[in-house]
């Protein structure tokens, strides 16, 4: 978003919210401030490293400008909804970034408004109650032991429970057991022990039907003043959809779309991980496999049939790998790699190569054709301690070349040079 566009839209924003609150600054200064906030939001959407907390900072800025009427959030949302049209693209991931940014905006506004109200009045006033009850983000108030004193409707809806049933429950009982220790430790060590501050926590929550989702919460310790006890204010949002999208994108980037097998990137990461934890005497075993005469299948029957043959071969190789306890990946084309982690020796890798060849020995029924295919395999069992993942793959590739040169339909065992 360029500056001129931001200034024009800031005028629209100011027109929508200027009558809601007293703002101790000139109209010109207020519009300039809103233009800066619009630019920050647009830049956050287009940034390579997405930071949703920019939305919270914008929400807090509105409160600092004294725009504290609850209708400010709703009227601002109408203006901010135009931002995605001025940025990159309309992908699902981009839309999820915008949703996260707006959730953070509401969270920042509600949290800043609550902090301002408490500091000025020492208790929740009518304005906060309106925000509390109508905010799109989940808000909870708890005691210093994690007991829920109050929750807003958005929080109750996220958990699939009645607000009345949640009051008095422990927030820790609503989370995943595996997240309990981390959540409790962070709240005790970073908030209660210090006596102030805010922690941001992404953890799983349990719905009423027993399923789990993910939520991002900002938990603030609001100190008491002698008349009002200290309490914890949690403001958050359901990020389950974002987590699922991230998981799907992660899987897509690391698995072959044709066969579903791990791809070169994931194979490389697994080998690198094995190198990181290897002991001095550990070895890693690889069977680098290439189909013999696969070009003939493509030329004779077409690439669609060739792809289905590759998928069928991959399925048999994967079944053999699962039976023997190792990973099979597709590097591309008709090349596959089976990798075996320590403890392993050359005899075990050679036996695995024999079973891999046997697994594809029987003909494949593809598109009404009975197709037979053989393979060549380069076999290595390399020392892995302090090794390089690319070097290990290159050694296996060289062994495969020798197997091909020997006529194929078999394997060649690389013998390491004595040190």
CA gap 239, 303 in Å, rounded: 41
| CATH class (in words) of the domain with range 255-413 | alpha beta
Spell out the long-range contacts of 97-101 with Cβ–Cβ below 8 A and sequence spacing 24 or more: 97/45, 97/50, 97/52, 98/45, 99/241, 99/242, 100/50, 100/52, 100/55, 100/237, 100/239, 100/242, 101/41, 101/44, 101/45, 101/52, 101/54, 101/55
Catalytic-residue membership of 209: no
What gap in Å lies between CA 93 and CA 246, rounded to an integer?
A: 8
- For 196-251, the DSSP string reads S-EEEEEEEEE-TTS-EEEEEEEEEEE---SSS--EEEEEEEE-HHHHHHHHHHHH
CB atoms within 10 A of CB 107: 28
What does the angle CA 380 – CA 386 – CA 388 come to, to the nearest 5 degrees?
60
Give pLDDT, residue 187. 86
- The superfamily (CATH) of domain 138-241 is PAS domain (3.30.450.20)
Active-site option among 19, 178, 334, 347: 334
Q: Is the dihedral of CA 59, 65, 70, 76 positive or negative?
A: negative
* Mean pLDDT, 10 residues at a time, the chain of 419 residues: 81 87 85 89 83 88 87 82 60 73 86 77 62 85 89 91 90 89 86 87 90 91 76 90 88 91 93 90 93 91 94 95 93 94 90 95 92 94 90 92 89 74
Q: In sequence order, which residues have a C-beta less than 8 Å from that of residue 101 and are 6 or more positions away?
A: 41, 44, 45, 52, 54, 55
175-199: string of b/e by CB count within 10 Å (b at 16+)?
Answer: beeebeeebeeebeeebeeeeeeeb
Which H, E and C letters describe 5-35, residue by residue? HHHHHHHHHHHHHCCCCCCCCCHHHHHHHHH
Quick one: pLDDT at residue 124? Answer: 47
For the chain, the structural domain boundaries read 1-136, 138-241, 255-413
């Amino acid at each position: 978003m360029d500056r001129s566009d931001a200034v024009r839209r800031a005028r629209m924003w100011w027109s929508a919210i200027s009558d809601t609150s007293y703002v101790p600054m000139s109209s010109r200064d207020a519009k300039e401030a809103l233009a800066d906030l619009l630019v920050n939001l647009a830049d956050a959407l287009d940034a390579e490293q997405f930071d949703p907390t920019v939305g919270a900072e914008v929400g807090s800025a509105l409160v600092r400008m004294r725009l504290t009427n609850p209708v400010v959030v709703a009227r601002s949302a109408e203006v901010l909804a135009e931002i995605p049209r001025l940025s990159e693209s309309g992908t699902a991931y981009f839309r999820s970034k915008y949703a996260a940014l707006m959730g953070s905006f509401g969270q920042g506004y509600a949290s800043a408004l609550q902090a301002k109200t408490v500091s000025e009045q020492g208790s929740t006033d009518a304005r906060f109650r309106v925000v509390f009850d109508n905010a799109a983000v989940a808000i909870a108030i708890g005691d210093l032991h994690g007991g829920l004193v109050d929750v807003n409707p958005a929080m109750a809806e996220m958990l699939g429970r009645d607000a009345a049933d949640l009051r008095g429950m422990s927030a820790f009982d609503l989370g995943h057991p595996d997240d309990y220790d981390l959540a409790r430790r962070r709240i005790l060590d970073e908030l209660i022990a210090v006596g102030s501050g805010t922690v941001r926590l992404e953890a799983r929550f349990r719905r009423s039907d027993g399923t789990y989702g993910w939520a991002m919460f900002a938990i603030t310790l609001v100190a008491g003043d002698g008349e009002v006890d200290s309490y914890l204010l949690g403001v958050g949002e359901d990020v389950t959809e974002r987590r699922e999208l991230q998981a799907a994108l992660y899987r897509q980037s690391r698995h072959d779309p044709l066969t579903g097998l791990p791809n070169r990137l994931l194979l490389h990461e697994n080998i690198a991980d094995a190198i990181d934890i290897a002991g001095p005497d550990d070895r890693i075993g690889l069977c680098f496999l290439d189909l013999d005469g696969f070009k003939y299948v493509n030329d004779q029957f077409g690439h669609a049939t060739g792809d289905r043959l590759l998928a069928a071969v991959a399925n048999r190789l994967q079944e053999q790998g699962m039976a023997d306890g190792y990973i099979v990946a597709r590097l591309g084309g008709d090349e596959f790699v089976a990798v075996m982690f320590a403890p392993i020796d050359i005899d075990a890798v050679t036996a695995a190569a024999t079973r891999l060849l046997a697994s594809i020995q029987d003909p494949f029924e593809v598109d009404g054709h009975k197709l037979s295919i053989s393979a060549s395999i380069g076999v290595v069992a390399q020392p892995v301690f302090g090794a390089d993942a690319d070097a290990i793959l290159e050694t296996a590739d060289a062994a495969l070349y020798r197997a091909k040169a020997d006529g194929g339909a078999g394997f060649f065992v690389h013998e390491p040079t004595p040190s």
